[in-house]
A and B are shown apart, each in its own frame.
Chain A
Amino acid sequence: MTQLILEQGLNGLQFGLMLFLLAAGLTLVFGIMDMIHLSHGSLYMGGAYLAALVAERTGSFWIGLAGAVLGMAVIGALLELAVLRHLYRRDHLSQVLATFALILLANEAVRMLFGAQPMMLNAPASLAGPAEFAGFSYPAYRLLIIGVGLAVAAFLWWLVTRTRVGMWVRAGASNREMTEAMGVPVKRLFTGIFVLSAALCAVAGGLLGPLLAVQVGMGENILILAFVVIVIGGIGSIRGALVGSLLVGMADTLGRALLPTLLRSVASSEIASSLGPAIASILIYLLMAAVLFWKPTGLFPAR
């Protein structure tokens, strides 16, 4: 049991950190540009596909990951300059329509270029086995993901709290008009935020690629989770995104692993086996509804 809880706890941490990579960018786009960006999941999908493609051509997972990050940063910049910057001042409905259109474009473009079959992306061979310590074993690749996730979180913390750009970002999240009036180069800042969030999506897509299937539609599933995270954490807050990601990652993973067992100890196994997975899969949405009910602007409101 201890082994199971520890293992699932680490899985939850790993999933939560990957969600954070998506949610950090999304919460800034949402909080600072006041933009509902549905195609955020498409950036994640694009990152996974680029990583799989480059890794396949070069034979190296690491070159694949680096290529995905660079490629998505460029694509993110082009996307912002060509389409998204014209949407910041529009109402939410127009943003929903436009970014929904971008999802259709991205999905079909990927289908045209790579076909409908899922792509394979293999973890580096050196990390294929389990890592053992003190009689406890855990997949080495998942440990790597946790490490990278923590490193990126630390980098973002430094960027946001210790640099001038980070100060602008925080100022923009709390009051955009005032920030513009104080002479912050808002246009370039917005492009920069978008490039950063696209690169973070690529990191998450490339790292999760070997664990999940790299396929069309992978972005739609995780996008909603990222939205749940930023609503729980408070829109525009990086710290909120981190706390929300870990909460959602843990609740989802531990709920799926432990709830059916727990229910079996209080109810008949028949009820437990049908109700357990059902409750586990809606747990995070219940969490979000509860947070919105008691703290309508999230746990760490930026404004």
Chain B
Amino acid sequence: MKRSNLLLDPLLLVAAIALPFGLQAIGAEFYIGFATRVLIFALAASSLNLVVGYGGMVAFGHAAFFGLGAYVVALLMGQQITSAWIAWPVAMLVAGLAALLVGALSLRTRGVYFIMITLAFAQMLYYLVISMPQTGGDDGLPLPSRSQLAPFDLQDDLSFYFAALALLAAALFALKRMAESRFGHALAGLRQNETRMEALGYPVFGLKLACFVIAGAGAGLAGALMVNQTGLASPNQLYWTQSGTLLVMVILGGVGYRHGGLVGALALLGLEEALAEFTLHGQFFVGLVLLAVVFFAPKGLAGLWKRQP
């Protein structure tokens, strides 16, 4: 590993810690909320990157786990369970269990059929949620106030930013350690030649399932943060376009690069935010930029300055 790579993570972390104070100093507190949103989407996209980039499985239903995390927190809040120490792990657990179920059934297929069956499961969840009165139907479930993360006060936007930052940093650190572990090397082997790994005696199905479940739990945690950020568990967070957006973030950032999810979330949300200042039709230019990335940066933005993943 090059020295510049060793310095990258601490530098990023210092910049992210300094950012909100810098924003306060120039009177742009409004952007702390935006930065929090980027961190949350970075967490969700990084969890998807674990499946797509590290596990080599193109999953098109990641919004299911993301949205599930949001709904679990909102439903628990409705039962007067306001503590984040309980609600967020439960959100991860439920999303992880859902991923276990979906993965166990979907991983029997491969290629485009895997894409389609993960999509189908996500759509099932979407339609279940909008047709059940308990989950608020089309309106979704509002979250009256943020979760209680004693001793911290999440009602304060700055504290919430740091909570999201801490979780993202922990997740990216875990991703790094995982990639260097036996598990990560086995996944890398799977990406290259599944049949050979099977012949070597690796439990291929179990490895892929484990990867899928960990990613599902990570997306659930991102969803739990998201509902705290927006104050609403909305069916839109479960719809297939949300899965598409997460996948776009991963591809845009760089599939299989550890910072791919972060770069993609920052680039896509930042682009949307910047364009919203100038035009009502920002999505048009977002589309143009994405097309340009496909043709001029086939390995994504992170791939532009890193040769090796």
User: What's the minimum C-beta distance from A36 to chain B, rounded to whole angstroms?
Assistant: 7
* Residues on B with beta carbons closer than 8 Å to the beta carbon of A111: 281
User: A20 near B: Cβ within 8 Å?
Assistant: no
For B53, give the chain A residue with the smallest CB separation.
Answer: A93
For B129, give the chain A residue with the smallest CB separation.
Answer: A278
Contact of A282 with B128 in the complex, beta carbons under 8 Å? yes
A77-100 toward B: CB 8 Å interface, digit per residue (1/0)? 000000100110010111011101
Give 10 new A-B contacts, CB below 8 A, not counting A90-B298, A231-B116: A90-B294, A97-B252, A101-B291, A102-B287, A104-B283, A108-B281, A112-B281, A227-B116, A228-B116, A292-B113
**Max chain A CB contacts within 10 Å: which of B131, B293, B295?**
B131
Contact of B123 with A96 in the complex, beta carbons under 8 Å? no
For A231, give the chain B residue with the smallest CB separation.
Answer: B116
The number of residues on chain B lying at the interface, defined by a beta carbon within 8 Å of a beta carbon of chain A, is 45
The interface-forming segment of A160-168, A179-187, A283-291 is A283-291
Contact of B290 with A92 in the complex, beta carbons under 8 Å? no
Chain A interface mostly helix, strand, loop or mixed? Answer: helix
A269-300 toward B: CB 8 Å interface, digit per residue (1/0)? 00000100110011001101100110011000
With A101-B287, A227-B119 already in contact, the answer to whether A94 and B298 are too (CB < 8 A) is yes
Task: Please report the C-alpha to C-alpha distance between residue A112 and residue B115 in the assembled complex, in whole angstroms.
Answer: 32
Which residue in A36, A109, A296 is a CB contact (below 8 Å) of B109? A296
User: A220 near B: Cβ within 8 Å?
Assistant: yes
User: B132 near A: Cβ within 8 Å?
Assistant: yes
Seen from chain B, the residues whose Cβ lies within 8 Å of a Cβ on chain A are: 52, 58, 60, 105, 108-109, 111-113, 115-117, 119-121, 123-124, 127-128, 130-134, 240-241, 244, 247-248, 251-252, 255, 281, 283-284, 286-291, 293-295, 298
Task: Please report the C-alpha to C-alpha distance between residue A36 and residue B255 in the assembled complex, in whole angstroms.
Answer: 18
Task: Please report the C-alpha to C-alpha distance between residue A103 and residue B287 in the assembled complex, in whole angstroms.
Answer: 8
* Residues on A with beta carbons closer than 8 Å to the beta carbon of B60: 96
For B102, give the chain A residue with the smallest CB separation.
Answer: A289
With A93-B255, A278-B132 already in contact, the answer to whether A286 and B124 are too (CB < 8 A) is yes
Contact of A297 with B252 in the complex, beta carbons under 8 Å? no
* Residues on A with beta carbons closer than 8 Å to the beta carbon of B252: 97
User: What's the minimum C-beta distance from A30 to chain B, rounded to whole angstroms?
Assistant: 7
User: What's the minimum C-beta distance from A85 to chain B, rounded to whole angstroms?
Assistant: 12
With A83-B291, A101-B287 already in contact, the answer to whether A96 and B251 are too (CB < 8 A) is yes
With A100-B248, A278-B131 already in contact, the answer to whether A297 and B113 are too (CB < 8 A) is yes
